[in-house]
């Protein structure tokens, strides 16, 4: 077969020069496997080098200043390789000091009288700029992309890699979206779009490229949904459950279900019994009690002697659900099992045997559940917790295993119905509107500084009352290593301040087993204070934790803050959340005010949307609702709508995508399909 022109794009990054096994692994940690993935690894922001008004600068600001050199640069050397180069510059009407460290060669390049622009950090008290580089204002590439990185790969390395990959293979980029769609919408050519995203000359470039990228992303996503759906339209498994047994089980619950919960259970049971395969989304705020609703569906399936699977995004969460559900079903014959990547080989073998023989009624795990060798006996019901973290294809892979099981997705992030339908196809929605009885709204307080005495007072008060405290350490989005360093500092500080209690530290670099151990120990009250980077898992349930302190709260999005806060207030004890932040920008202030004002996730989500946009280029998708990299289905609803119409147009004319015009699109779908079926 003749290789198509675009073949390198779908090849492993290992074909790039300088990329060995180690880099391959580091890149795969960022979700980058192929050259195409690398091109589509977009910066989450840009550093800009536009000239600034010196009178508007605050201490510590990074800025480009432009003026005339008014003294001859003086070089001083101190020690091996260390030096400083100092001179004065007149910027606007102000004479400022400029210093470059360890760049002695600049002495011969910077002349008195010269017109110069320099980039650096402003020190107000000394009217001084600690400069890191000179900037050529005429050459207009004053934007530098900033990518998310991990400890194993550095910012400069990613930049360099993308640059060289683009030089070598950029010309192979072809338009996947068919021309009949591109032309009327004036989409940018893929090649130009990728170029402008990684090497823009202005924010206008970025904006224009982003628009095309968002449309394309939605188009490809919806296109794939449609493509896969061809094999999906089948009847579902009917679950003829025993209503009396289910009712009896509900009687044994230690609490009364809320009206919304009852309603949701009824809707789920109705779906289970129907011939159609269930495709339902259960949405409810953090702490609203989604798990028990799912559990009742599981129990219903059990009364029909059918199996269920519960799939969650992390191993820690899987272990927690396992403990809780095992406890819940303790007095029944319903057999629960947990399968994670930590399950030993022999345990796994026995477990899979039992699963196949129908001895296990409920299997809980991460996407370890969709490994090819995991075979069910009669899987009828699948629950996906915090569904937005799973792609449509993982859902499908699971679906494929059990003929056509009924699928319930659960999420704490509400999305409008029409949007849900666009994104998930013909989905039905159940909503839990109220919190369990007896819950007190969490009181949220915003303080400006980490040394505010209120923090210490609150911690002491809660400890005296035998409660527990979560401390969320500051976030430095660009590097896990730095996040960890911050968390360690805070941890040391808490250990010192509260010597009589046990303090634990939890962070993203720990092994899942260690994380789980710490969370379990915290739940068992071995620790009273838990200092953590943001890894506090969605869904962790510790009833005596009544205080949460979030440092640098302005760095989190509103929904993320709300999710975090939802870790407290899980019983009838009054809980508190202290937000520590002193942001200068109005949007950040408004976010914090909203947090203080409201405990309602739906209200906050709505307002989050209104506040977003300003200053965010590609946004911070980690906190996004549904896993799109570029587009935001809420913010970019118009593009989403256009993409949906475009996909319908293409498929109605050429359902099998055999027309020459759709060849690239077809090829893309085939390639990504292969990719989806291999689950790591």
Contacts of residue 365, defined as CB under 8 A and 6 or more positions apart, other chains included, come to: 309, 310, 311, 312, 318, 338, 339, 340
Beta-sheet strand order (sheet of 545-551): 443-447, 576-580, 545-551, 468-472, 529-532, 503-506
Q: Which is nearer to ligand ADP, 97 or 324 (CB)?
A: 324
Stretch that binds ligand ADP, among 195-203, 251-259, 453-461, 521-529 (CB under 6 A): 251-259
CB of 340 to ligand ADP, least distance (A): 19
Query: Min. distance of Cβ 555 from Mg ion in angstroms?
Result: 24
Region 307-346 residues binding Mg ion, contact defined as CB under 5 A: none
3-state secondary structure of 655: coil
User: Which residues pair with residue 83 across a beta bridge?
Assistant: 77
Of positions 70, 174, 257, 419, contacts ligand ADP by CB under 6 A: 257
Asked whether 552 and 581 are in contact (CB, 8 A), the reply is: yes
8 Å CB contact between 43 and 618: yes
Q: Total residues at the site for Mg ion (CB under 5 A)?
A: 1
Asked if 288 is part of the footprint of ligand ADP (rule: CB under 6 A), the reply reads yes
Residue 284 contacts ligand ADP per CB under 6 A? yes
Whole-number Å distance between alpha carbons of 130 and 123: 8
The answer to the question of residue 434 lying near ligand ADP (CB under 6 A) is no
Eight-class DSSP state of 190: H
Q: Least distance from C-beta 241 to ligand ADP, angstroms?
A: 21
Q: How far apart are the C-alpha atoms of 282 and 387, rounded to whole Å?
A: 10
Cα-based distances in Å from 41 to 201, 365, 664? 18, 29, 21
| Min dist. Cβ of residue 246 to Mg ion (A) | 21
Alpha-carbon distance of 432 to 266, in angstroms, equals 12
Of 564-593, which residues contact ligand ADP (CB under 6 A)? 570
* Nearest alpha carbon to residue 193 among 184, 176, 154, 181: 176
Angstrom distance (rounded) from CA 121 to CA 58: 10
C-beta of 541 vs 616, nearer to ligand ADP? 541
Of 149, 211, 291, 411, the one binding ligand ADP by CB under 6 A: 291
Smallest separation, CB 437 to ligand ADP (Å): 6
| Shortest CB 537 distance to ligand ADP, Å | 11
Is 236 one of the binding residues for ligand ADP (CB under 6 A)?
A: no
- The two most distant CA atoms of the chain are separated, in Å, by 92
Write down the least CB distance from residue 383 to ligand ADP, Å.
Answer: 11
Structural contact between residues 502 and 531, judged by C-beta atoms closer than 8 angstroms: no
Does residue 631 belong to the site contacting ligand ADP (CB under 6 A)? no
Per-residue x/- track, 196-235, ligand ADP (CB under 6 A) = ----------------------------------------
Q: Tell me how far apart the alpha carbons of residues 45 and 552 are, in angstroms, rounded to a whole number.
A: 19
Q: What is the C-alpha separation between 657 and 444, in angstroms, rounded?
A: 54
Q: How many helices (H) and strands (E) does the chain have?
A: 21, 21
Q: Minimal CB distance to ligand ADP: which residue?
A: 289
CB-CB neighbours of 577 under 10 Å? 29
Q: Which value, to the nearest 10 degrees, does the dihedral of the CA atoms of residues 395, 397, 400, 401 take?
A: -110
Residue nearer to ligand ADP on the CB measure, 271 or 385: 385
| CA 494 – CA 529 distance, rounded (Å) | 8
Nearer to ligand ADP, 472 or 580 (CB): 472
Residue 292: how many CB atoms within 10 A of its CB? 19
Report the distance separating Cα 641 and Cα 645, nearest Å: 6
Q: Least distance from C-beta 454 to ligand ADP, angstroms?
A: 28
Q: Which of 236, 287, 365, 414 binds ligand ADP (CB under 6 A)?
A: 287
Tokens of 20: 């060995």
User: β-pairing, 279-284 with 406-411?
Assistant: parallel
The secondary structure of 62-83 as a DSSP string is EEEEEEEE-S--EEEE-STT-E
| Contacted by 616, from ligand ADP, Mg ion, none: CB < 5 to 8 Å by type | none
**Residue nearer to ligand ADP on the CB measure, 356 or 543:** 543
Among 313, 474, 539, 624, binds Mg ion (CB under 5 A): 539
Query: Pick from ligand ADP, Mg ion, none: which does 258 bind, CB < 5 to 8 A by kind?
Result: ligand ADP
Applying CB under 6 A, which part among 53-61, 221-229, 257-265, 640-648 lies near ligand ADP?
257-265
6 binds, among ligand ADP, Mg ion, none (CB under 5 to 8 A by kind): none
Please tell me whether residue 131 binds ligand ADP under the rule CB under 6 A. Answer: no
Long-range pairs for 373-377: beta carbons < 8 A, 24 or more residues apart: 374/339, 374/401, 375/401, 376/307, 376/309, 376/401, 376/402, 377/307
Candidates 73-81, 281-289, 443-451, 656-664: pick the segment binding ligand ADP (CB under 6 A): 281-289
Q: Which is nearer to ligand ADP, 134 or 258 (CB)?
A: 258
Angle of helix 601-611 relative to helix 558-565, nearest 10 degrees, comes to 160
The residue (of 131 and 536) whose beta carbon lies closer to ligand ADP is: 536
Q: Which is nearer to Mg ion, 6 or 366 (CB)?
A: 366
Q: Which residue number, 27 or 286, has a Cβ lying nearer to ligand ADP?
A: 286
Residue 286 contact partner, candidates ligand ADP, Mg ion, none, CB within 5 to 8 A by sort of partner: ligand ADP
- Within 10 Å of residue 86's Cβ, how many Cβ atoms? 14
Work out whether the CA dihedral 403, 408, 413, 416 comes out positive or negative. positive
Is 255 a residue that touches ligand ADP (CB under 6 A)?
Answer: yes
- Specify the residue, 178 or 539, whose C-beta has the smaller distance to Mg ion: 539
289 contacts ligand ADP (rule: CB under 6 A):
yes
Closest to Mg ion by CB, 297 or 539: 539
Query: Judging by beta carbons within 10 Å of its beta carbon (0-12, 13-18, 19+), is residue 328 exposed, middle or buried?
Result: buried
Residue 375, classified by CB atoms within 10 Å of its CB into exposed (0-12), middle (13-18) or buried (19+), is middle
Measured from each CB, the residue nearest to Mg ion is 539
Type and span of the H or E element at 409: strand 406-411
Residue 566 within binding range of Mg ion, rule CB under 5 A: no
The answer to whether residue 436 forms part of the interface with ligand ADP (CB under 6 A) is yes
Distance of closest approach, residue 312 Cβ to ligand ADP, in angstroms: 10
- The option from Mg ion, ligand ADP, none interacting with 406 (CB < 5 to 8 A, set by class) reads none
Q: Where in 503-542 is the site for ligand ADP (CB under 6 A)?
A: 539, 541
The entry of ligand ADP, Mg ion, none that residue 288 binds, CB within 5 to 8 Å by partner kind: ligand ADP
Q: How far is the CB of 438 from ligand ADP (least distance, A)?
A: 7
Instruction: Find which of ligand ADP, Mg ion, none residue 541 binds, CB within 5 to 8 Å per kind.
Output: ligand ADP
* Helix, strand, coil in percent for the chain, rounding step 5: 45, 20, 40
Member of 52, 258, 308, 387 binding ligand ADP (CB under 6 A): 258
Regarding 73 and contact with Mg ion (CB under 5 A), the answer is no
Contacting ligand ADP (CB under 6 A), which of 198, 210, 280, 290? 290
Q: Which residues contribute to the site for Mg ion (CB under 5 A)?
A: 539
Q: Which residues contribute to the site for ligand ADP (CB under 6 A)?
A: 255-258, 261, 284, 286-292, 412, 436-437, 539, 541, 570
């Amino acid at each position: 077969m003749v290789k198509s022109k675009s073949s390198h794009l779908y090849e492993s990054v290992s074909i790039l020069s300088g990329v060995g096994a180690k880099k391959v692994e580091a890149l795969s940690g960022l979700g980058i496997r192929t050259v195409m993935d690398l091109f589509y690894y977009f910066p989450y922001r840009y550093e800009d080098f536009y000239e600034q008004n010196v009178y508007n600068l605050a201490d510590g600001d990074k800025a480009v200043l432009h003026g005339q050199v008014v003294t001859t640069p003086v070089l001083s050397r101190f020690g091996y390789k260390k030096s400083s180069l100092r001179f004065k510059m007149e910027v606007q009407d102000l004479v400022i000091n400029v210093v470059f460290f360890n760049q002695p060669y600049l002495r011969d390049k910077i002349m008195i009288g010269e017109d110069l622009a320099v980039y650096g950090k402003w020190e107000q008290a000394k009217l001084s700029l600690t400069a890191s580089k000179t900037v050529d204002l005429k050459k207009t590439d004053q934007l530098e992309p900033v990518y998310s990185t991990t400890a194993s790969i550095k910012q400069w390395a990613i930049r360099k890699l993308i640059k060289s990959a683009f030089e070598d293979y950029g010309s192979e980029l072809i338009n996947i979206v068919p021309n009949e769609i591109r032309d009327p919408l004036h989409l940018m050519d893929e090649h130009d779009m990728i170029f402008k995203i990684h090497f823009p000359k202005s924010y206008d470039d970025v904006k224009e490229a982003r628009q095309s990228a968002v449309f394309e992303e939605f188009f490809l996503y919806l296109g794939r949904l449609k493509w896969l759906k061809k094999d999906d339209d089948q009847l579902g498994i009917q679950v003829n459950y025993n209503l009396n047994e289910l009712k009896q089980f509900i009687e044994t619950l230690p609490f009364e279900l809320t009206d919304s919960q009852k309603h949701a259970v009824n809707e789920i049971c109705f779906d289970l019994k129907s011939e159609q395969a269930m495709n339902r989304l259960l949405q409810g705020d953090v702490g609203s009690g989604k798990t028990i609703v799912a559990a009742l569906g599981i129990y219903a399936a059990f009364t029909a002697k059918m199996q269920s699977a519960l799939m969650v995004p992390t191993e820690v969460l899987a272990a927690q659900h396992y403990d809780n559900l095992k406890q819940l079903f303790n007095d029944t014959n319903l057999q629960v099992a947990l399968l994670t990547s930590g399950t030993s080989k022999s345990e796994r073998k026995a477990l899979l045997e039992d699963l196949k023989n129908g001895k296990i009624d409920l299997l809980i795990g991460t996407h370890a559940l969709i490994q090819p060798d995991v075979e069910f006996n009669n899987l009828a019901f699948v629950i996906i917790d915090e569904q937005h973290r799973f792609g449509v294809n993982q859902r499908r892979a699971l679906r494929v295993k059990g003929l056509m099981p009924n699928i319930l997705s659960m999420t704490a992030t509400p999305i409008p119905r029409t949007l849900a339908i666009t994104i998930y196809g013909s989905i039905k929605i159940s909503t839990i509107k109220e919190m369990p009885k007896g819950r007190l709204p969490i009181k949220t307080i915003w303080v400006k500084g980490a040394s505010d005495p209120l923090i210490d007072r609150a911690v002491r008060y809660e400890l005296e009352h035998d409660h527990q405290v979560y401390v969320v350490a500051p976030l430095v989005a660009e590097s896990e290593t730095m996040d960890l360093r911050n968390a360690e500092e805070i941890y040391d500080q808490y250990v010192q301040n509260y010597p009589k209690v046990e303090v634990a530290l939890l962070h993203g670099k720990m092994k899942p087993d260690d994380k789980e151990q710490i969370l379990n120990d915290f739940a068992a009250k071995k620790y009273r204070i838990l200092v953590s980077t943001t890894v506090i898992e969605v869904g962790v349930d510790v009833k005596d934790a009544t205080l949460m302190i979030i440092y640098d709260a302005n760095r989190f999005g509103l929904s993320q803050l709300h999710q975090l806060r939802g870790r407290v207030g899980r019983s009838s004890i009054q809980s508190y959340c202290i937000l520590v932040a002193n942001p200068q920008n109005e949007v950040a202030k408004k976010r914090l005010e909203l947090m203080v004002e409201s405990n309602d996730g739906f209200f906050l989500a709505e307002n989050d949307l209104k506040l977003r946009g300003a200053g965010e280029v590609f946004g911070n998708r980690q906190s996004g609702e549904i896993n799109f990299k570029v587009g935001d289905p809420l913010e970019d609803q118009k593009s989403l709508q256009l993409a949906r119409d475009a996909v319908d147009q293409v498929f109605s004319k050429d359902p099998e995508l055999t027309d020459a015009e759709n060849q690239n699109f077809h090829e893309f779908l085939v390639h990504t399909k292969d990719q989806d079926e291999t689950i790591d």
